[in-house]
Amino acid sequence: MRKHLKPRTFKKLKGKVDLSSNTAGIKSPNPFWLASAPPANSGEQVMRAFDHGWGGAVWKTLGEDPAVVNVTSRYGAIDIGGMKMAGFNNVELITDRPLDVNLKEIAEVKKKYPKHAVIVSLMVPCERKNWHDIVKKAEDTGCDGLELNFGCPHGMSERGMGAAVGQVPEYIQKVVEYVKEVAKTPVLTKLTPNIADVRFPARAAMAGKTDGVSLINTINSVMGIDLDTLKPKFAIGGKGAHGGYCGPAVKPIALNMVSQIANDPETKNLPISGIGGVSDWRDATEFLLLGSSSVQVCTAVMHYGFRIVEDMISGLENWMREHEFETLDDFIGKSAGDIVEWKHLNLHHKTVAKIDSSTCIECDLCFIACNDTAHQCIVRPSDYGKTGKGWKIPTVIEEDCVGCNLCSLVCPVEECITMEDVETGHAPLTWEQYTAAGMTGYKEVYKRFHD
């Protein structure tokens, strides 16, 4: 049963909570990094971010000169339920600043902030010489590591880079091998989510001897059509192009892909830097629990500025004290094993909805949702001619409730509808166990389930 929230208590640990992070040999004072994006576009920005407490920064992707040319406008967003920028879209390319200027500033930042992680994101054509040259130039700055950008879904992919590489495992392995031939610092391979199964590119990167992976990059998206002008929203001269989607709305997709890599027998020991919808310390902690050893943030910084890291640091510290974790290693990956394939779920686990009549506001949302779109197990006493106290409050027919959870999700009152575990009297049983026993037909399964 989902319990009412209890007041948080913070236990005192012996010694100080240690937030220091180590991702594939890249060390930082905490796991919070700026992602390779506009917030990490210049030395002045990165230094200001470090002053506010960010533990690391992945420099906005460097390429070969001449620099790229960007378009305007280049950003778009979707607001959901009053939440600004719940989903964020961009058609911006890699850095449009000269390579030598970026390299000079990277060296200056690293010299001034030796304990912070400075990672250089790179993207050049898939030729050995191109990668050798850019890797040597980047590492001459004294940076702590490299991130190979195989994720950018727009603009650069049409030029045979970014996601055009990240969608072909063979290309990933080849380029990683090129880089590892000369790289002296740890190499992270940044993966695209625009692929059927992220485990295959992760395995390819591992075959190329990558030191770790970072994910997810942005998702292909079109932000909509203006119904007055009939033109794409956030258009450039009346035209639109698919861009990269990020922000809070993509976090569940990112968590799934991180967990896939953390649970894959071939890549489960591969260090991960998690990216995708991280807005606060809670989001970051979820990534850490699923196997990330650092988290990268972009959209939230673009929305609220660098100072959000102060709350991230204090929030994570307090949470660690509450759970008596002294270091990140005490809980990194602790929840990954609880993400399983559907066939491993317990078919005998049963929940039913409970409605708290004392907090119900009689909005009827649960009744409408259940009867129109779910399993018709919620009734209103008034429909049966009942009057008096509570005559409008919906009631759950428990024997008909399948525990789908929809009613609790649509209910606008916190904890008014909860899902309560019901003892079935049956031992746990999974679909895998069913099939192993030869119970593959739906009729047999149904009979056994209800016997």
What residues does each domain of the chain span? 21-338, 342-450
- pLDDT (0 to 100) of residue 444: 60
Query: Which pair of tokens denotes residue 29?
Result: 């004072």
Distance CA 282, CA 247 (A): 15
Looking up tokens 């904890």 gives 415
Neighbours of 335 (CB within 10 A): 17
- pLDDT (0 to 100) of residue 16: 82
- pLDDT (0 to 100) of residue 1: 29
- pLDDT (0 to 100) of residue 3: 36
What single-letter DSSP state applies at residue 4? P
What are the contacts of 265-269 at 24+ separation with CB within 8 A? 266/199, 266/203, 266/206, 267/199, 267/202, 267/203, 267/206, 267/213
Looking up tokens 């009057």 gives 387
**DSSP string computed for 300-323:** HHHHH-TTHHHHHHHHHHHHHHHT
Cα–Cα–Cα angle for 47, 51, 56, rounded to 5 degrees? 65
Residues 6 or more apart whose CB falls under 8 angstroms from that of 358 comprise none
What are the contacts of 320-325 at 24+ separation with CB within 8 A? 320/17, 320/19, 321/10, 321/11, 321/12, 321/13, 321/17, 322/8, 322/9, 322/10, 322/11, 324/11, 324/13, 325/17
Phi, psi of 394 (to 5 degrees): -60, 150
Q: Is the dihedral of CA 45, 165, 28, 306 positive or negative?
A: positive
- pLDDT (0 to 100) of residue 344: 95
Marked catalytic residue, from 126, 143, 152, 246: 152
- pLDDT (0 to 100) of residue 118: 98
Distance CA 141, CA 103 (A): 6
Residues 6 or more apart whose CB falls under 8 angstroms from that of 294 comprise 21, 23, 26, 28, 31, 32, 33, 55, 56, 117, 273, 274
Q: How confident is the prediction along the chain (451 residues), in pLDDT tens digits per residue?
A: 233 334 445 555 556 899 999 999 999 999 999 999 999 999 999 999 999 999 999 999 999 987 789 999 899 999 999 999 999 999 999 999 999 999 999 999 999 999 999 999 999 999 999 999 999 999 999 999 999 999 887 868 778 777 888 899 999 999 999 999 999 999 999 999 999 999 999 999 999 999 999 999 999 999 999 999 999 999 999 999 998 999 999 999 999 999 999 999 999 999 999 999 999 999 999 999 999 999 999 999 999 999 999 999 999 999 999 999 999 999 999 999 999 999 999 999 999 999 999 999 999 999 999 999 999 999 987 776 666 656 678 999 999 999 999 999 999 999 999 999 999 898 999 988 888 877 655 556 555 555 5
- pLDDT (0 to 100) of residue 162: 76
The structure's pTM equals 0.92
What are the contacts of 84-88 at 24+ separation with CB within 8 A? 84/303, 85/247, 85/248, 85/299, 85/303, 86/247, 86/248, 86/249, 87/221, 87/245, 87/246, 87/247, 87/248, 87/249, 87/250, 88/245, 88/246, 88/247, 88/299, 88/302
- pLDDT (0 to 100) of residue 437: 76
- pLDDT (0 to 100) of residue 388: 61
**DSSP string computed for 193-219:** S-SS-THHHHHHHHHTT-SEEEE--PE
Most distant CA atoms of the chain, gap in Å: 82
The domains spanning 21-338 and 342-450 adopt the same CATH topology: no
- CATH class held by domain 21-338: alpha beta
Query: Which pair of tokens denotes residue 370?
Result: 């259940």
What single-letter DSSP state applies at residue 118? E
Q: 245: which strand partners?
A: 89, 219
In terms of Cα–Cα distance, which of 129, 123, 134 is closest to 100?
Answer: 134
Amino acid 401 reads: C
Distance CA 365, CA 357 (A): 14
**Cβ pair 415, 1 in contact under 8 A:** no
Q: 18: which strand partners?
A: 327
**Cβ pair 191, 216 in contact under 8 A:** yes
152 is catalytic: yes
C-alpha distances out from residue 340 to 70, 330, 377, 405, 428, Å: 42, 22, 29, 20, 15
- pLDDT (0 to 100) of residue 164: 84
Distance CA 172, CA 179 (A): 11
CATH, domain range 342-450? 3.30.70.20
Looking up tokens 């902030």 gives 113
